[in-house]
Structure 1
């Protein structure tokens, strides 16, 4: 689905990523972990087309999109949920969702994944809790019917029950086989439970990678501590 191959990228003359390669298979979920400053957000900016690469290639469904702008990648099925629980605060929950809704059945499906949004449909988004706004941001992106969902730190600053809801949604959607997920996350347990494969980025390089699951927690924490 998504292949980042030997990518070096950064800002100005400063290289942040150094010869990084990761792969997100069709219908699979992959997590990228690392401390602040490791290069995770830079990697997502490369994946979404927000940052040009210095060297290397980015493939989406086998097509070279290295020089393709973000809008064209969205047209090819990429959906991006950035950090910060972004929403339109003056609009209601329902109005936020209607901005990307194509048909009622799509909205019904998304509300089945996040029932609390249906309960708060008439409330202004700015009055929602941080966790509820995060669910809204994910739901709004899912309404665009992406084939690759890119999530940047979705658990940051939100309550544990909402983290569990987001984890459940990621697992449910990827098990259906029609959605791939690239997740950047510092919450090791959440990341490994939600995804099939992981990469740990340290100082702009892949330090370790492997299969997800509880058995990988030790290896991940060791890699992040080195």
Structure 2
């Protein structure tokens, strides 16, 4: 853990991914899917039949970093169609309800708040760099609703196909007048962490959520949870339920 402690101590800017890193926005997605299916008119007796394949398709898209929530209604309609159910077009309030459902189904991981507090107290510049949800404003509203936005000096939500995480981190480094080696990014996706390290930044992988069992990459520093990082900083042990 001494190497991890050095990385944290030397970082002037610490960047966090949002979904799957600071917050659990995946565990309750089955509930979100079922709620939205009911809202679109799925008969309760067919809910499980439709929600299970819809959930599996959503999961595969998320794992591939290809989920666009602008197409969420279409995902549900197609899952229903494949099981012999024709759903109508989504109602006008579909996206508003989807946003509220995702907000309610998102929980900060154990130690997230405590970790951000201690980093802030140490004078670190804390930023959030993450991809968008495919619907303008969704991610920003979810970050605000999470209660974590108050810790960030800057929030960057990257529209799909435009700015990359590396480009965003380079802009942040330039804005604050530091070198890439002074920037630490924390993420739950191994391929993202590796790319960021190869670009000259420091990075830490948090093994959480749907990527916890993915193959390790030798070059990538890994921790089991945010609590592990907090323990390095504070010298105290914390429960995963903390």
**Same fold by TM-score greater than 0.5:** no
Work out which of the two has the higher radius of gyration on C-alpha atoms and give 1 or 2: 2
When you count helix as a share of all residues, which structure comes out higher?
2
* Structure showing the higher strand proportion among its residues: 1
TM-score, normalised on structure 1? 0.28
Q: Name the TM-score, length of structure 2 as normaliser.
A: 0.27
